[in-house]
Amino acid sequence: MSENELIALTAVDAVEKLRNGELSPLDLIDAAEERTDAVDGPINSMPIRFHAAARESAKSINTRRKNALHPGAWLAGLPVGVKDLSDVAGQRTTMGGSPIFKDFVAEKSSNDVVNLQRNGGIPVGKLASPEFGFNATTYSQLFGYTRNPWNTTLSTAGSSGGSAAAVASGQVWAATGSDLGASIRTPASFCGIVGLRPSPGLVPRGPTPFSFSVLPVHGPMARNVQDTALMMDAMVGLRESDPISFPPPDISYLQAAQSPEKPLRVAFSTDLGITSCDREIAALVHQSAQKLESIGCIVEEIHPDFGDAVEIFHAIRGTGHIAGMGALLEQHADLLTDEIKWSVETARGLSADDIAKAERGRSALQQRVSTFFETYDLLICPANVVPPFPAEWTTVKEHEGYEFERYIDWIAITFAITLTACPSLSVPCGFLKSGMPLGVQLVSRPRSEYNLFTYGRFFEDVMNLGVITPVTPKKY
């Protein structure tokens, strides 16, 4: 098969060919490297590459082996990308292009990467992130801006912008992402791929100095729902150094994605009552809801009460910033971005009562959402409320006359969902008039990833967009 034919394979098809001996891991590593050399220059998504090391790893892969505990998780030597907030043993981790870590080489792989490697995934490179994942756009002091392959003048969003761009442009078949406020879901939407923010604990994190937080999670990103489910199968599982992780379930997420199921009752909202939404994006969300209604779903425009979610999120996120970044700010203030310094210093202005109020508010919000999902199978809302913007923007201050108060408030539509601990799957639903893709969040009750993948595959089939990636980077 030619390089173009190989990179056009779905991850599921590539793994099947690896398992039955039609392809070797080296075939795919070669194709991945050639594709990266050909297309990454204009988008800057994979600043750290180690294809040669991947070839050495491939020598120990038994492509026909099965994982006895979780057979569907065996990737059989599939090349994957790793977001540059996770370690790959023997390779650089710059924590998203921070000068503080510019020369750091990891001795051990991070927990999510260990699971991938044990399940037959072969990392071939580190994917761009803003420094420490602190922004919802992807740029750093070391590596500069990451650009959208659909239009290289535009942003990938963030913080998993490198992962989204690399997957969308065909440099890897799947990649890891991490998500606190929007970081898997919005880049997936901007780049026309699929990404899952799973329930906390399903995919192990760290080791990390703030290991008990349930806001940040790691999750899979790929070109369609089935490929994302396959990647999820390979990432889940207990790692003792992550205290909230647990053993993999006795189910296959890929099997779920191969068994589409129609949700009975669907709720949708364009703004969750807490933000503005671009008029064209709102219209596409309405069209998506109408398509579901036309094939028999009961669809209502309704959402839980998220009225205090913005203030809750900023208070709780701030606590994590002090724990995770406070020491670095004291030691390396001159090497940190203004956004990081602002976040930590603002958080230090919160009182204990402010934080306690936010925690009570989060618990009340979670209870409201839990009650909501007693009636509805699925909540649909945008994965972004503004269209892709210039790559050099580090935030969105205003759109269609609506001013966003803080530098990340333009992602309130996603960070509000983060607070609920519900899984959220970002799936393409259509295209804007500009030609840029748009995704929606499909949200279901906590710990319902299996059902979410069945609904996600059903939604993907109903939208009927066909194969939209990989794309060759272009500029308009």
Please give the positions annotated as active site: 83, 159, 183
Question: What tokens does 124 get?
Answer: 């071939």
Q: How many helices and strands in the chain, by DSSP H and E?
A: 15, 17
Report the SS3 class of residue 40.
Answer: helix
| Of 382, 401, 363, 186, residue with least CA distance to 272 | 382
C-alpha 270/C-alpha 104 separation (Å) is: 43
Bond from prior residue into 470 cis (ω within 30 degrees of 0): yes
C-alpha 432/C-alpha 476 separation (Å) is: 15
User: Across the strands, what pairs with 107?
Assistant: none
Do 184 and 142 contact (CB within 8 A), yes or no? no
Helical H segments across 193-265, by residue range: 225-235, 253-257
C-alpha 109/C-alpha 80 separation (Å) is: 14
Give the DSSP per-residue string, 301-341: E-----TTHHHHHHHHHHHHHHHHHHHHHHHHGGGS-HHHH
Do 74 and 231 contact (CB within 8 A), yes or no? no
Residue with structure tokens 């803003």?
Answer: 130
| Of 112, 84, 114, 117, residue with least CA distance to 98 | 84
Classify burial at 131, counting beta carbons within 10 Å of its beta carbon; exposed 0-12, middle 13-18, buried 19 or more. Answer: buried
Count of CB atoms situated within 10 Å of the CB of 475: 9
Question: What tokens does 88 get?
Answer: 């790959």
C-alpha 124/C-alpha 48 separation (Å) is: 9
C-alpha 147/C-alpha 391 separation (Å) is: 6
C-alpha 137/C-alpha 159 separation (Å) is: 6
The enclosing H or E element of 175 equals: strand 174-179
How far does CA 209 lie from the centroid of its chain?
Answer: 22
Half-sphere exposure for 64 (CA within 13 Å, toward CB): 3
Strand pairing category for 217-222 and 139-140:
unpaired
User: Across the strands, what pairs with 403?
Assistant: 398
